[in-house]
Structure 1
């Protein structure tokens, strides 16, 4: 089972490769995201929302102190990063998404200053949703997400029918994967051969982006984690092999 994984080229990619190998799959690491820090840090506010482990790391490196703010994490992965760097976390929604965070904050933030600190590709669902319930929202871009120059080898494997699965871990990984295929002039072949693979998406927004680009998604874990995504994809591939 040859499976492409698109995580950033850091410990996340290393962990993904190790996990797939432990599941007797052959990982094809092809980072589709690189982080370009802006040097900014979250502003002081009544509520501060961070949406990724990367955001927490950069905020910490910039010397951010939440003060008396209510600290909110979009999911348990972000919350774990907060705790790793010594921050207390006050709110983590049961549903790890922008919609889930808006829902849990809706009755608490009217007239309050809410700081949302994240990447330059954050969803408007979060900021617009908080504004709609009466929050005074400010957004700070902590980092930009760009496609690494050497990315895209997996698209050639896909176009040649040499992949069994792909694991998309954000909407941008979908977009960058297709951009890489377009750059090589193999977008059509890549899309065609994805129909024969097991395609995994880490959560609803990633699934929706794939669907919008005419990519059928086979696996979406109930909890947005790479571990569950990888395990479900490998399970599906084994089921296909038995047919």
Structure 2
């Protein structure tokens, strides 16, 4: 039996290399198609009573600029973000049990009235976090640490999908979904793309990513309980193999 072919659309940094290595270790033929490039803005997090980080990338950029929390409360959305902070020597005070912006708002709502809250993240974050914290009477400021562009090389997975050559595909953020469908639209073959993915297993790393996929007219087969790439990959590969065994 040939190895399943699974596309992975992580950013064009060490994360795509780590993903490819992991997929190979699971007996899969990976298609590396980075759909994101990280472009730092040069901005620094402002002084605040609370700092909120929503991604490992944001943490790395802030730490590289010698950001220090002082005595502020540090909050992380997701265990990967929390791990990045701890690995950089920053103590994490709050990680919501629900790894979403809404989960963090629920966690902080009763304690942030009148406090300054600095949200340090990408330029593409939703307003859920800002509106929720402001509704709890916090003084909220957002610093956009980086933008997410589309690499010039992106698109191999789109071509393979149109040709029906993918057994699975791993979407790891709403932005990867946007860029994937932008390329299909530029190729004037969104209909062919959807047809080519009818038999493929589509995995989304979290609820926002799953919503973006559905908004573009595809069904989502796998959404892991945790926002964790390895769990997403394992569940998607398992479903690919289960499907192959029944055909």
Q: Does 1:84 align with 2:87?
A: yes
Distance 2:208 2:15 in 1: 20
Instruction: List aligned pairs for 1:167-186, cutoff 5 A.
Output: 167-186=170-189
Aligned residue pairs total 243
Deviations 1:95-126 (A, max 9, x none): 11111111111111111100001001111111
Distance 2:191 2:169 in 1: 16
The equivalent residue for 1:201 is 204
Distance 1:122 1:101 in 2: 14
1:118/1:142 contact within 8 Å kept: yes
Which residues of structure 2 form unaligned runs of 5+?
none
Could you say what secondary structure the match of 1:128 adopts? helix
Instruction: List aligned pairs for 1:54-93, cutoff 5 A.
Output: 54-93=57-96
2:165/2:196 contact within 8 Å kept: no
Distance 2:214 2:188 in 1: 21
Normalising by the residue count of structure 1, what TM-score does the alignment of the two structures yield? 0.98
Normalising by the residue count of structure 2, what TM-score does the alignment of the two structures yield? 0.96
Deviations 1:118-166 (A, max 9, x none): 0011111111111111111100000001111110111000001111111
Alpha-carbon deviation of 1:184? 2.2
Which residues of structure 1 form unaligned runs of 5+?
none
Q: Paired residue for 1:5, among 2, 5, 8?
A: 8
1:44/1:67 contact within 8 Å kept: no
The equivalent residue for 1:232 is 235
Runs of 4+ in 1 over 6 A off after TM superposition: none
Distance 2:22 2:148 in 1: 24
The equivalent residue for 1:242 is 245
